[in-house]
Structure 1
Amino acid sequence: MKKILLLGITLLSFFGYTQTIALQSFATGFSSPVEIAHAGDSRLFVVQKGGLIRILNSNGTINATPFLNLSSLISSGGERGLLGLAFHPNYATNGFFFVNYTNTAGNTVIARYSVNSGNPNIANTTGTILMTINQPYTNHNGGSIKFGSDGFLYIGMGDGGSGGDPQGYSQNLSLTNSNVVSNPSRIYLGKMLRIDVNTTAPGLNYGFPSTNPYVNEAGKQEIWAIGLRNPWKFSFNRLNGDLWIADVGQNAFEELNRIQSPLPNTGINFGWKCYEGNETYNTTGCAAASTMTFPFYQYPFYSNGTCSITGGYVYTGSSYPNLQNKYVFGDYCDNRIRVIDNNGVLVTSAVFSGNDFASFGEDHLGELYAAGLSSGTIFKIVDTSLANSDFEKSGFSLFPNPSKESFTIKSSDENLATKIDLFDLTGKLLLTKKLENNPENTIATTLLSKGMYLVTLETKNGTSYTTKLIIE
């Protein structure tokens, strides 16, 4: 059963205005959710680190039967597990989807599966392995896989683990490197890979995009960018194709990278381990700094409890205009949500304790969700900017907000409200009432469920003003 819980917090920007974000509890009962994806329809697919993919319906119910169970194929201790899911752009016609998991030997596997032809809520249990990448340590597995607007599958690979990239995998492009010779697939560590899942190269179950920067160099044709430490979540802006990568730092900075579309094909170097964020880490043998791509934004490690950035999405939905074109992300350790605009202006929430945000998700309409690893809860991200500027500037106020049993509308003597309409977020009219000819009117809410609503006032000259109301 869908449960509504609104946790209101205020976000303060550097320009002095306020935004408010809330988390609406959408569904509970998941075990270590680490990814949320959609297949082009209203369902959400929630990836559990232990190996299950479960379907979360638009009404908040969870299908009893998992979409896919890979628990027998994976190792899930520490940072290992079933970590990534991406549906083919033509999933509606070909039924293909792709997963990223660490197998029982601890190595990264990229595999293709397909939906059951007779039941859209069940996947076929036999898959095709595309890539297996040897992992030298148990951490820094990356995990995200996403399709870009170019139709290619992008794969974010961590540097192999331990600390400080001791074998220098992130900057290494040499197959003759002593750490790579016996395990050639380690050339992919610390890289962003890009493959073509619609073609096949000789001996492989995938092909190479002809525009990949190393496509003519055997053994590294898949590499699109280098210099990543542990890209724990990346995403594409579904409207303009921009790529956002959250790269977990070593012990000084967490970094956020933004690559604007059209994406370059010249071989990006994000700098690790030469640089951690904008700061020098170990530049021995490194290329010139001018050849590196430095972060769009960074913040200090262990600043107010931070320790591990969790990448999110640019909000492209229609419900919350104040969030449009802003990137929403978090930090695994401090249970806060962050919103940053295209100018690098950041706002940071108060703490949503007990969640450990391990993933964010986007539905087919561009609305956003957050997954609490510890709580097992999927939250819908809500902008509770309670009053638009016209509402306040025109002399109206609504209080208390949030409300429990009633709320009061106050208007100025010069601009009296004559009627109130109350809608739910789907646009359904729930209440309409003519108002008394005085500056204050109180409306009972005891018959309304907890949640968020839209309140529209009409004045005697026919002008309308809208604001938002939370009922607890």
Structure 2
Amino acid sequence: MVRYLLLTIFLAVGVLSAAAPFSKTSKIELRPVFHRKFTQPVYVGAYPVAASDCIEPYAVVEKPGIIRLESLKRACGQVLLDIRDRVHDGSLEEGLLGLAFAPDFKTSRAFYIYYSASKPRRTILARVHVAEGSSKANTDIEELLSVRQPYSNHNGGMLEFGPDGYLYIGVGDGGSGGDPRGYAQNLSSHLGKILRIDPRTKTGYKIPVSNPFFKSSGDAYSEKREIFAWGLRNPWRFSFTPDARLIVADVGQNEYEELSFVGRGENMGWNLMEGFHCFKPAKNCMQKNLKLPFYEYDHGVGQSILGGYVYTGNALATLKQKYIFADSVSGRIFAIDYQVTDPRAETLIQAPGLFSSFGRLRDNELVIAELQTGKIYQLVPTAQVGQK
């Protein structure tokens, strides 16, 4: 998610209050939504079906291991899943990190989670079911994939179903710093990768035949068949554009944060490169057959990129079809036209706090979760403040 230095920043920065522009140059404001605070929220998304006593529910993931159902209209207080007894939440980057509902949830009642566990340290992809007519998940969780983690940081955690119906999984490079064991470029490891599977099975999952290493034997010394793309440091959050392109925000190491279009079988360059620049070695690195980012910024701007979504709502008309993202350290929220050559990001607002994840509301408006206060904020035009 973010660097260890954020532990200091986490304690030192101010916190967000009511909706405010924070500076006269802010293009947007942040308005609190929901009727409660959460404990370290790291994901928010629409719950696909109705829930009793909870109007138009949203699922909010709390890093310690709880998924809550809440409404924008009134407090619900419902718990969809509580796996705190399974989740290892020992560091800032460990915990219950990802959630994705199956596209056919209304019939399959299946959703997927990604969480940290201990003894041994690992991250787990699991499938969970909710019985028909219930708003509480079953406790018989099916583990689909377990990835050993040598360090506590760079776990990744994003889960997203693509337009192709497959489940995409972001896994970090194993942590420490600089990828000391070279996992991101090692095709016999799941670490430092975007994985893609077809979970539309009663048990386990299938490998899509179009995966680049579908024909691999899959043994310990062969390419992992789940790999979709590799050469990533910590793809904490990613999303698909309306035209079905995958944008991954990859958290940088020493100097640069990056946004990339990621395609099947592509090597995104880490730890040979950081952004557009050689990393290992620092000069004259091997750049052949690498996919470079479409945008980067240096650590004078921010130090931990947070991927978001292409904006398709109506409240922020000037941001239509722009990709919205943030930096968790600097508190900046940006907009960028991802469809042009050599794009430039525009700062919409700079706010105190520790942003952990974007989310989309049912009307396609965007929200952002703040880890420290446990609040979730909607991105709104400045003119709306004081009218609510």
Task: Say whether residues 1:213 and 2:217 are aligned partners.
Answer: no
Q: Which position in structure 1 is the counterpart of 2:138? A: 124
Instruction: Report the equivalent of 1:396.
Output: none
Q: Which deviations, in whole Å up to 9, do the C-alpha atoms of 1:436-455 show, x marking residues without a partner?
A: xxxxxxxxxxxxxxxx3xxx
1:257 aligns with 2:260: yes
Structure 1 residues 340 and 10: CA distance shift in structure 2, 3 A = farther
C-alpha distance in structure 2 between counterparts of 1:249 and 1:88, whole Å = 31
| Alpha-carbon distance change, 43 to 165 in structure 1, aligned in 2, over 3 angstroms | same
Within 5 Å, give how 1:236-315 maps onto structure 2: 236-237=240-241, 239-259=242-262, 264-265=263-264, 267-283=265-281, 288-301=286-299, 303-304=300-301, 306-315=302-311
Q: Give the TM-score, by structure 2 length.
A: 0.86
Deviation string, structure 1 residues 246-278 (Cα, Å, up to 9, x no partner): 11100110111124xxxx43x111100000000
RMSD: 2.1
**Are 2:37 and 1:29 equivalent residues in the alignment?**
yes
Matches within 5 A, 1:44-443: 44-59=58-73, 61-78=74-91, 79-105=93-119, 106-119=121-134, 121-173=135-187, 175=188, 187-199=189-201, 205-219=204-218, 220-237=224-241, 239-259=242-262, 264-265=263-264, 267-283=265-281, 288-301=286-299, 303-304=300-301, 306-342=302-338, 343=340, 344-353=343-352, 355-384=353-382, 386=383
Q: Aligned pairs, how many?
A: 354
Give the secondary structure class of the aligned counterpart of 2:307: strand
The answer to whether the 8 Å contact 1:234/1:311 transfers is yes
**Partners in 2 of 1:196 and 1:86 — Cα distance?**
13
Question: What's the counterpart of residue 14 of structure 2?
Answer: none
CA distance in 1, matches of 2:159, 2:287: 28
CA distance in 1, matches of 2:27, 2:48: 29
Shift of 1:470: 4.5
Distance 1:71 1:281 in 2: 38
TM superposition shift of 1:300: 0.8
When residues 375 and 330 of structure 1 are mapped into structure 2, their CA distance, relative to the original with a 3 A threshold, is same
Question: Which deviations, in whole Å up to 9, do the C-alpha atoms of 1:302-356 show, x marking residues without a partner?
Answer: x15x221111111112332212111111111112211111232211144322x20
Displacement over 4 Å in runs of 4+: 9-12
- In the alignment, the residues of structure 1 paired with residue 48 and residue 294 of structure 2 have an alpha-carbon distance, to the nearest angstrom, of 30
Match of 2:387 in 1: 471
2:5 corresponds to which residue?
Answer: none
Structure 2: 5+ residue stretches without partners: 1-16, 50-55, 219-223
1:39 to 33, 44, 47: 47
Cα distance between partner residues in 1 of 2:137 and 2:155: 25
Contact 1:10–1:21 under 8 Å retained in 2: no
Counterpart CA distance in 2 for 1:133 and 1:38 is 28
More strand by share: 1
Q: Counterpart of 1:457? A: none
Q: Secondary structure at 1:122's aligned position in 2?
A: coil
Relative to structure 1, the CA distance from residue 11 to residue 159 in structure 2 (aligned partners, 3 Å threshold; closer, same or farther) is farther
* Residue in 1 that maps onto 2:20: 7
What SS is found at the alignment partner of 1:339? Answer: strand
Write out per-residue CA displacement over residues 215-248 of structure 1, whole angstroms, 9 at most, x where no aligned residue.
Answer: 00122110010000001111112x3222111111
Gapped regions of structure 1 (runs ≥ 5): 13-18, 176-186, 387-451, 453-468
Between the aligned partners of 1:5 and 1:69, the Cα distance in structure 2 is 30
Is the Cα–Cα contact under 8 Å of residues 173 and 191 in structure 2 kept in the other structure? yes
Higher relative contact order (CA 8 A, sep 6+): 2
TM-score (norm 1): 0.71
Instruction: Tell me, in whole angstroms, the C-alpha distance in 1 between the residues paired with 2:230 and 2:246.
Output: 15
Q: Cα deviations across residues 24-48 of structure 1 (Å, max 9, x unaligned)? A: 1003410111111223464221111
Q: Distance in 2 between matches of 1:471 and 1:319?
A: 14
Deviation at 1:471, TM superposition (A): 3.3
Q: Which amino acid aligns with 2:40?
A: S
Q: Distance in 2 between matches of 1:369 and 1:232?
A: 17
Contact 1:23 1:379 in 2 (8 A): yes
Contact (CA 8 Å) 2:272, 2:286: kept in 1 or not?
A: no
